[in-house]
Homo-oligomer: A and B are copies of this chain.
Amino acid sequence: MPRGKQLNGSAAETEAAFYDALARADLDALMALWADDEEIVCIHPGAPRLLGHAAIRASWEAIFENGGVHINPVLLHQTHKLMSAIHNVIEEVKERTGTQQDRHILATNVFVKTPHGWRIVAHHASVAPGKAQYEAPKVTLLH
């Protein structure tokens, strides 16, 4: 199936294509997933915010000089509206130096529906201390 067709489908598909492009270090595929809007925002963990296509593209280009970034987004929490989707994931990063146990990465990914399909308008990633909390089932207090 042509990739363009897939991308009209859902925010989840665009998010999957995002992490796939990161893994393959495919800069063009990655940048095609962002909305055609100079207000797009990208915040890498522990870094200042980047605005607009040129700055965001340059940042990923620098990252990809060391190859792809292998991230498994897990524990998705999401809010969907007709024209937008807000996702929050824990990014399991396959680190070249082994798995870090003392920190994890959180990402808020925001998508909007455009005439060309679901596109990224914001990617905000940040570092949180400790091992990711794999939420236990909620205990409901009876009284």
A residues bordering B, Cβ < 8 Å? 35, 37, 39-41, 43, 45-49, 51, 77-79, 81-84, 86, 88, 90, 104, 106, 108, 110, 112, 121-122, 124, 126-130, 132-133, 135
Give Cα distance in the complex from A40 to B43, angstroms. Answer: 20
Main SS class of interface, A: strand
The answer to whether B79 touches A81 (Cβ under 8 A) is no
The answer to whether B122 touches A49 (Cβ under 8 A) is no
The answer to whether A51 touches B79 (Cβ under 8 A) is no
Return A101 CB to nearest CB of chain B, in Å.
14
Partner of A79, one of B35, B46, B129, B130: B35
The answer to whether A77 touches B106 (Cβ under 8 A) is no
Residue among A77, A104, A126 facing the most chain B CB atoms (10 A cut-off) = A126
Return A36 CB to nearest CB of chain B, in Å.
11
Return A49 CB to nearest CB of chain B, in Å.
5
Residues of chain B within 8 A of A130, CB atoms compared: 48
The answer to whether A129 touches B37 (Cβ under 8 A) is no
Residues of chain B within 8 A of A79, CB atoms compared: 35, 37, 39-40, 110, 112, 121-122
Residues of chain B within 8 A of A51, CB atoms compared: 77, 135
The answer to whether A43 touches B128 (Cβ under 8 A) is yes
Residues of chain B within 8 A of A88, CB atoms compared: 41, 43, 49, 122, 124
